[in-house]
Amino acid sequence: MTELHVVVPAGVDDPAVPSGGNRYDRRACEGLAALGWHVVEHPVDGGWPRPAAAQVTRLAATLAAVPDGALILLDGLVACAAPEVVVPACARLRLAVLVHLPLVDEAGDADLDARERETLRAAAAVVATSEGAARRLAALHGLDGVRVATPGVDPAPLSPASAAGSRLLCVAAVTPRKAQDVLLSALTSLTELDWTCAFVGALDRDPVYTARVTATAGELGDRVNFAGPLVGADLDARYAEADLLVLPSHAETYGMVVTEALARGVPVLAAEVGGVPEALGWAPARVQPGMLVPPGDPAALADALRRWLTQPEVRVNLRAAAAARRSTLDGWGATARALAGALDAL
């Protein structure tokens, strides 16, 4: 049995702070264990990717306790924030880094970008969560051989569609990268049409941005609601009530909510960024189960929403494509096998 040490942010299982990265980490550990790996988890507390000095010291102690020559996988949010302790550890450990999102795409911080570059160039292996993310990391940091392990998705029941297609859903933490302001700007130009929009996601990541977004939403009345973070049956219920998932992000390495919607036969309208086109994919007849628009373009997003809301044939065709796409989605077992292949090489 191969032993694998995995370093993840503390709170990876906390339902109050759900994220795609946390879900990926948990399902990856479970999947590798199901393949026969002995997975030893090391949760590390910290304000990643900007930890306090004491938190970096605790990370150093965690790494020091791992035996020489051990195989270890670090979540990139942790690893790339602390090259001062991760890079020296690369000399005695078989160390791989799993990058959920390049730090510069989340924070726009040149210092974090440089720290990420230092870490990833020292690691024995780098794993990204989409082909697009692998290309992005290669271009940012001059890396060769970035491996890919795309997120899986669980099977789900088909969501019942409403005739008007008016129930819009956006599942994302309220942050500038997720661009809820762009979606609200588009909706502001569609007030003559019948629609509601539910926003599901954390509201505390960027309080200033959240205040601005919710103020704009207030002008649209009760057609818009912010539910905060939801998981499990509560999130399932929101997908079951949705006609269209809208993801207007400025950057995404993959977009797990895209496949979560498609697993339920819910079409997707998203910004064409990063790995989103990979997640959206194609139905077997080479029909796309959604629409892609340029990022940061409220007019283009509004135009696509208008087509969806006013043209029944668009809704019929996209729903059929989304239903067909369900059968082509990979589960989390495929993710674990791809990760195992990347780690086996070490």
- The region, left, alpha or beta by phi > 0 then psi within -120 to 50, assigned to residue 179 is left
Least confident of 44-48, 58-62, 314-318, 336-340: 44-48
Between CA 338 and CA 131 the distance in angstroms is 13
pLDDT over 80 (residue 82): yes
Q: For the chain, which residues make up each domain, given as ranges?
A: 3-152+331-344, 167-328
pLDDT in tens, 7-43: 999 989 888 888 899 999 999 999 999 999 999 999 9
Q: Is the pLDDT of residue 276 over 80?
A: yes
Model pLDDT, residue 113: 95
**Fold adopted by 167-328:** Rossmann fold (3.40.50)
* Edge-to-edge strand ranges of the sheet holding 147-148: 38-44, 3-9, 71-75, 94-99, 125-128, 147-148
* Same topology between domain 3-152+331-344 and domain 167-328: yes
- Rounded Cα–Cα distance for residues 254 and 76 (Å): 15
Asked if the model's pLDDT at residue 320 lies above 90, the reply is: yes
pLDDT value at residue 111: 92
DSSP 91: T
**Which pLDDT does position 109 carry in this prediction?**
82
Q: What phi, psi does 102 have (nearest 5°)?
A: -55, 135
Provide the pLDDT for residue 17.
83
Q: Are 115 and 86 in contact (CB under 8 A)?
A: no
User: What would the mean pLDDT of 44-53 be, rounded to a whole number?
Assistant: 94
Residue 256 — pLDDT band, cuts 50, 70, 90?
A: very high
Residue 62 to residue 65: CA distance in whole angstroms: 5
Distance from C-alpha of 340 to C-alpha of 346, rounded to nearest angstrom: 10
- pLDDT value at residue 18: 85
Options 3.30.70.940, 3.40.50.1370, 3.40.50.2000, 3.40.50.970; CATH of 3-152+331-344: 3.40.50.2000
Quote the mean pLDDT of the chain.
Answer: 96
What pLDDT sits at residue 1?
74
Single-letter residue type at 280: L
Predicted confidence at residue 15, as pLDDT, reads 82
pLDDT exceeds cutoff 80 at 108 = no
Q: Is pLDDT above 80 for 107?
A: no
